[in-house]
Amino acid sequence: MTLQEAPEFSAQVDAIITRHSRDVILPVLEGLFDGIAKNPRVFERAAWNVRVAKSDPLGLTVPTFRVVFQIQNEKQGDEYVLLLWIQEDDPEQDIMETLK
């Protein structure tokens, strides 16, 4: 499915990339975006038309991310995913939550 970015989302991604090594961050982001594009409906709904995708923890030095998105024109021929928001999470906290 086609991905489109809201202006806020684009600005957030640009800020994330400037804070981190492109070589480390881009594969994580691209993998997350690829998963959303291939099967957006598998991600849990945060509200009736908003879904959230989360990257897997890859260690303490690589941040994890949450992407908030909507499927626009759902079940129509021109449906697409609108990426609304991206949040950088603390990988240490994510790892500790998986250990509970």
pLDDT digits (tens, 9 = 90+) for 19-76: 888 888 899 999 999 999 999 999 999 988 999 999 988 777 788 899 999 999 988 8
Question: Residue 11's pLDDT is what?
Answer: 96
CA distances in angstroms from 55 to 38, 69, 74, 78, listed in the order given: 15, 14, 24, 27
Question: Residue 56's pLDDT is what?
Answer: 86
Using pLDDT thresholds of 50, 70 and 90, give the confidence band for residue 91: low
Where exactly are the structural domains of the chain?
A: 3-99
List 67's β-bridge partners, or say none: 53, 86
